Structure 1
C-alpha cells in the first residue's frame, strides 16, 4: 500500500462539503474514499471503507457531531478523526478534543492548513518525515517510436517490482487502440479501463482491485478498452482520476503509454514521478528523442523526470555508437537493455514475463538492474541532467537552432 491517506468526509452542509471535496480531489497525496451528508450514516460509511482519516464538520449539529466523534474513536481507533467548524469558541474546541478528535480545523479552510494537518497525520501513521508525501511511485514508460520495446519494458518492469512482496504494483495500459499488455501476460480481463472510468467516482480500493486482473507475479493489470468506440469518451481528467485511485491503492504504478503522445498520454506523464523513454541506437529513434525532449521542456518539471533507456543494445548492424548517441543527445544514457530477440519473442508469444520464462538470461538481469536503479536513484542524481548541452542536441532537430 502506498502512503496516500484515504479520507472519508461527513458534512450536512452541501456548500462546505463540496468545497472541501474539491480541495481534497486536487491533492495527490490523499484519496477521497467517501463523502456523506448525514451524521447517522457516517459510522456505516467508515465501517465499509476503513479510511485513514475521518473528517467531521460540526456546524450543522455540534452536539450530534461530538457524539459521533466519541463513537468513532472508540469503535474504529485506526481512523484518525479531524473536526472542522466555523466557530472558534474555546469551549467547543475543548469538547471536540476531549471527544477524541486529533485536530480542530477552522472554516473556511485554506489548502495550506489542510495540507499541514494531513502531513502531521501522515507522519504519525506512516512514521516518515514527509508523511503522506511519500506516495506511490508512478513510472510512465514511453517509446521514441513504435516497435522499440516500450510495452515489453513496462510489463517486465512491473512484474519484477511486483515479485518483491513488499510492493503492490498496478500496470495501466494507455495504448487505447493497439495496446497489448494483456497479451504479454496471457490475461483475459473481465474489466478494462473503460469500465473503471465509468465507475471511478463510485469505486473504493477494494472494488478497484476486484476490477483489475491479477497476474501470478503479483502484478495487477488494467488493460485498454476492448472496443475502439469505448476510447472516445475517455478524457485526460478521467485518466488523472484513475491514476489517483491507483496511487491510493498501490505502492507502484507502471503506465504503458501510446506512441501518439495525446492529451491523455501527457496527463499521465505529468502525473508520473519517473519517465522511462525507450529508444534504439538508430537515426529515426534518436531524432525522435530529441524532438520529444524539446516538447517535454515546455512542460514544467517533465524533462527532469525523463530517463533514456536504450533497448536492443549490441545489435550488430545499423546502430549508431553509444558515444555518438550521448554526444547527440547531450544526456547520459540511464540504462542499456541487451539485444535478445529470441528470448523476447518467446516471452511475448508464450505470455510469460522474463522472470518466469528466462530468469537467468542477460536481458532479465538487465531489467532487474533497471528496476533497482529506478527505485534507488535519488534526486541528487537528477541534478546531473544539466541543460548545458541543450543547444548542442537541439541542433540535431532541423530549425531548432534558429529559434
Structure 2
C-alpha cells in the first residue's frame, strides 16, 4: 500500500513544527502540504487529488474550521477531515462530526494516538474513493464540474453579454450540462438578456444551502430553451446582503457537483457572494475595454482581490472587449498597463447585431460572424468548450503574458 498522504492546515508555527517532527517518526505517512489559511487549504484539496486526510487546526481562518470542514466535504466527499482541538471532549467531537469531520485530535497528540486516528481516517477515505470510482454515488459525489467566473472592470464592458454567450455556446456541445449563475446581486440583468421571467432566485436557496437537494435546485433554476439552466440574482437588490460567503460556497458546490460547466456573472460591484465566487472559481476572467480609465479600474480591482487574499493576479486573465484595429490602445499595450495575462481572443464590437439580438430575445443567433467566432474561441480558452468543438479559424494571436 502507498504512503498515506496528509495535508495540514494551520498558521500556528509551533503546531506546524510539532506535527512536522512527529510525522517524520511515522512509517507509511507523508506530510505533502501545509496550508496557512482556510483558503489555501481548500485550494490544495482541489488540486492535490491524492490527499487522504486533512488535519485542520481549530484556530484556522479566515473561514472558521467547522465551515472549512463542510466545504471540504462538499468539494471532495472522499477526503477525510480531522480537527485539531485544544480540548478534546464530547462537545468538540459532536460539533466536528456534525460539520462532517472524521474525528478530532489533540493539538499535541501522542505518536500512538496520531497513528491510530490517521490510519482510521485514511482507511475511510480510500474506501470512499473506491466506492465513488465504482459509480456507487449519485451526481453530487461523482462529478466535479468547472466553475468559470467573469467580472467587469466597470459597467459596460460586456461581462453579462459574454457570460450569457459563453453559457449558450457551452450548452450547444452535446452531452454538456451548463448552469449560468447571475451573481451580480444588486444589478443582475441576465433576465433581460434572455427574456425570461422566473419567480425563484439564489435567495430561495440561502436557508437550505447546507443541505441542497436536486429538487430544491430544480425549483430555483430556470430551464432555458437553448440549453443552459439559469440561477438568477434576487429580484430585490437589498436581499444581496443575505447571500453570504458560506451560502455561496455551499450553493456553488452543489452546482459544481451537478453540472459540467458553471458560469458565474459576478458583475462589477463586489459583494460577499461575488467575491466568494471569484475565490472558488477554477478560472477567473475580468472584462476590460481598450481605454485607460477601464484598464486602471481593472488593475485596482485585481490588486484588491490580491490584498484580500481572494485571488492572486497571476490567476486572473483579462478579456479585451470592443477591440478593433482602429483603437489607439492595442492588446500588447493593454497587457503592459494591466500587468495581467490577456486571452489570445479579443472580442470585437458588434453593437448593431447585439442590439437586435437582445431586443428580439435571440442572443443565441447574433448576426455577426466575427463576434460569434470570438465567443467560441474564448470559450475554448477558458475551458468552457472542448478544443475540438472550437472553430479553429480566425484571428488568433500569441498569448500575452499567459499563465
Task: Identify the TM-score tier after normalising by the shorter chain.
Answer: 0.5 to 0.7
Q: What is the alpha-carbon distance in structure 2 between the residues aligned to residue 133 and residue 326 of structure 1?
A: 39
Asked whether the equivalents of residues 148 and 262 of structure 2 are also in contact (C-alpha less than 8 Å), the reply is: yes
1:363 paired with 2:371, answer yes
Shift of 1:356: 2.6
Q: 1:172 to 1:85 in 2, by over 3 A?
A: closer
SS of 2:320 mapped into structure 1 = strand
Higher-Rg structure is 1
1:281 paired with 2:327, answer no
Shift of 1:368: 0.8
Q: What is the alpha-carbon distance in structure 1 between the residues aligned to residue 67 and residue 132 of structure 2?
A: 19
Q: Which of 254, 259, 268 is the matching residue for 2:263? A: 254
Q: What is the alpha-carbon distance in structure 1 between the residues aligned to residue 304 and residue 199 of structure 2?
A: 37
Partner of 2:25: none
Asked whether the equivalents of residues 315 and 339 of structure 1 are also in contact (C-alpha less than 8 Å), the reply is: no
SS of 1:188 mapped into structure 2 = coil
Q: Which of 193, 199, 202 is the matching residue for 1:184? A: 193
Q: 1:22 to 1:367 in 2, by over 3 A?
A: closer
SS of 1:284 mapped into structure 2 = helix
Partner of 2:82: none
Partner of 2:247: 238
Q: Which of 305, 324, 333 is the matching residue for 1:314? A: 324
Asked whether the equivalents of residues 174 and 255 of structure 1 are also in contact (C-alpha less than 8 Å), the reply is: yes
Gap regions ≥5 residues in structure 1:
4-18, 33-83, 87-105, 127-131, 387-403
Asked whether the equivalents of residues 170 and 222 of structure 1 are also in contact (C-alpha less than 8 Å), the reply is: yes
Q: 1:85 to 1:192 in 2, by over 3 A?
A: closer
Asked whether the equivalents of residues 29 and 133 of structure 1 are also in contact (C-alpha less than 8 Å), the reply is: no
Q: Which of 211, 219, 227 is the matching residue for 1:210? A: 219
SS of 1:200 mapped into structure 2 = helix
Shift of 1:330: 3.5
Q: Which of 285, 288, 299 is the matching residue for 1:290? A: 299
Asked whether the equivalents of residues 164 and 190 of structure 2 are also in contact (C-alpha less than 8 Å), the reply is: yes
Gap regions ≥5 residues in structure 2:
1-45, 47-64, 79-101, 105-115, 388-397
Partner of 1:348: 358
CA RMSD of aligned residues (A): 3.5
SS of 1:337 mapped into structure 2 = coil
Partner of 2:168: 159
Shift of 1:306: 1.4
Asked whether the equivalents of residues 280 and 313 of structure 1 are also in contact (C-alpha less than 8 Å), the reply is: yes
Q: Which moved more, 1:229-238 or 1:22-31?
A: 22-31
Q: Which of 27, 36, 41 is the matching residue for 2:73? A: 27
TM-score (norm 2): 0.63
Asked whether the equivalents of residues 149 and 265 of structure 2 are also in contact (C-alpha less than 8 Å), the reply is: yes
Q: What is the alpha-carbon distance in structure 1 between the residues aligned to residue 73 and residue 350 of structure 2?
A: 43
1:132-177 per-residue CA deviation (whole Å, 9 max, x = no partner) reads 7972100001011111100001011011101113211111111122
Q: 1:182 to 1:324 in 2, by over 3 A?
A: same
Q: 1:23 to 1:125 in 2, by over 3 A?
A: same
Asked whether the equivalents of residues 269 and 302 of structure 1 are also in contact (C-alpha less than 8 Å), the reply is: no
Shift of 1:116: 3.9
With CA pairs under 8 Å and 6+ residues apart, which has the higher RCO, 1 or 2?
1
Q: What is the alpha-carbon distance in structure 1 between the residues aligned to residue 120 and residue 306 of structure 2?
A: 32
Asked whether the equivalents of residues 326 and 332 of structure 1 are also in contact (C-alpha less than 8 Å), the reply is: yes
Shift of 1:326: 2.3
1:338 paired with 2:371, answer no
1:304 paired with 2:304, answer no
* Structure 1 segment 191-206 matched on structure 2, within 5 A: 191-206=200-215
Shift of 1:383: 12
Shift of 1:26: 2.9
Partner of 2:6: none
TM-score (norm 1): 0.63
SS of 2:269 mapped into structure 1 = coil
Q: What is the alpha-carbon distance in structure 2 between the residues aligned to residue 134 and residue 211 of structure 1?
A: 21
Q: 1:21 to 1:309 in 2, by over 3 A?
A: closer
Q: What is the alpha-carbon distance in structure 2 between the residues aligned to residue 256 and residue 233 of structure 1?
A: 18
Q: 1:145 to 1:85 in 2, by over 3 A?
A: closer
Shift of 1:329: 2.7
